[in-house]
Amino acid sequence: MASQALPERETGVGAIHALPSPYLLFLGDTVEPGYAKTAFGLRDWAGDRCLGEWSLPAATVSTGLPRLTPAEAAAQGARSMIIGVASPGGAIPVSWMPELIAALDAGLDLVAGMHVLLTSITPLRELAARRGRRLIDLRVPPPSLPVANGRKRTGRRLLTVGTDCALGKKYTALAIARGLVERGVDATFRASGQTGIMIAGQGIALDAVVADFASGAAELLSPDADADHLDVIEGQGSLYHPAYAPVSLALLHGSQPDLFVVCHQPGREAVLGFPGYPLPSIETVIERTVLLGQLTNPAIRCVGISLNTAGMTEDEAEQLIAATSARLGLPVADPIRGGPAFQRLLDACQA
């Protein structure tokens, strides 16, 4: 869609990160599948943009994608190599360097979302400059972000919000966007975190943006669109989080969502890492999100609930989903379990 077109390079005011694809996924020397969540997420959610994987001989983890050297991937049309694994401590091991260099030599850009920046590694920075290649650190926001203007944009928007961090806001947004597209709805997943950006191929890591520009960055994420287009925006943090609420508020104000889905993990009793802060109820989060969201979209409303029922039996999950839906009078589903409950949630998003 023309209105959704993004600049190839992040020059000028108002560009968001846009990743060159298709990708080659790099798995380093990873032996622990838990460290390769990003690579698995890319395989599952952006498989059409992943040409293959590459790793060191010591690696035992695999996505099952074709194994290609950087040169082979480039010959098949790959445009970037994405570091799809975390390393213990967040550093880039020296053992990875020959492969990162080989990727640049083969004509690929490098993409990473690690705390250690690719651009902080002198040999990579110098080689990339010589080869005319890009080092894209997703934890570094694009330059020249604007201050929010508060102007109402065309098209429709849905934001996933949460009772806390790390309970399924990204997954829920991805599942809703995919489910709607499968129904023929004109919907786009919009990424506000680094893994989401790799999956979407574009986006801004909202938590890394300077506070004055955070709402403006959120506005950029879901630009003007056709009247029946729906942007499904990945939420961050929670309005009840003692550290990250400002990020959540920036996303809420800048996204100006028409609809929101509250994501919750049953059984979690306190904010993750903040034992003195009890988790808010779903009802409280609905009320607070409407109250604050009305600033930029007076028509904001909750369209349903996403429950993360990992660890529950099928029966337990079904009962909890039904009970929560009856209590709130809203569609409730676990997108990972899918089923009729999730279809009812999609019905509501589509209505």
What is the nearest approach in angstroms of a second copy to the Cβ of residue 25? 27
Q: Which is nearer to a second copy, 181 or 208 (CB)?
A: 208
Residue 89, C-beta contacts closer than 8 angstroms, at least 6 positions apart: none
What would the x/- binding string for a second copy be over residues 103 to 132, using CB under 8 A? ------------------------------
**Sequence-ordered list of residues with C-beta below 8 angstroms from that of 327, at least 6 positions apart, any chain:** none
Q: In 3D, which of 168, 117, 171, 121 has the Cα closest to residue 141?
A: 117
For a second copy, which stretch binds (CB under 8 A), given 20-28, 125-133, 195-203, 209-217?
A: 209-217
Residue 307 near a second copy by CB under 8 A: no
Nearer to a second copy, 106 or 300 (CB): 300
**Number of CB atoms found within 10 A of residue 87's CB:** 16
Residue closer to a second copy by CB (options 53, 137) is: 137
Residue type, 336: I
Select from 244, 139, 264 the least CA-distant residue to 252: 244
Would you say 27 or 279 has its CB closer to a second copy?
279
Which span (43-51, 71-79, 142-150, 169-177) binds a second copy, by CB under 8 A? 142-150
Rounded to whole angstroms, the Cα distance separating 45 from 200 reads 8
88 counts as binding a second copy under rule CB under 8 A? no
Can you say how many angstroms the Cα of residue 263 is from the centroid of all Cα atoms in its chain? 14
Burial of 29 (0-12, 13-18, 19+ CB in 10 A): middle
Residues in 221-260 that interact with a second copy by CB under 8 A = 240, 242-247, 249-250, 253
- The Cα 273–Cα 205 span in angstroms is 21
Site string for a second copy, 167-196 (x = CB under 8 A): ------------------------------
Residues paired with 264 in a beta bridge: 307
Task: State yes or no: residue 207 binds a second copy (CB under 8 A).
Answer: yes
Q: Which residues bind a second copy (CB under 8 A)?
A: 147-151, 206-212, 214-216, 240, 242-247, 249-250, 253, 274, 276-277, 291, 295-296
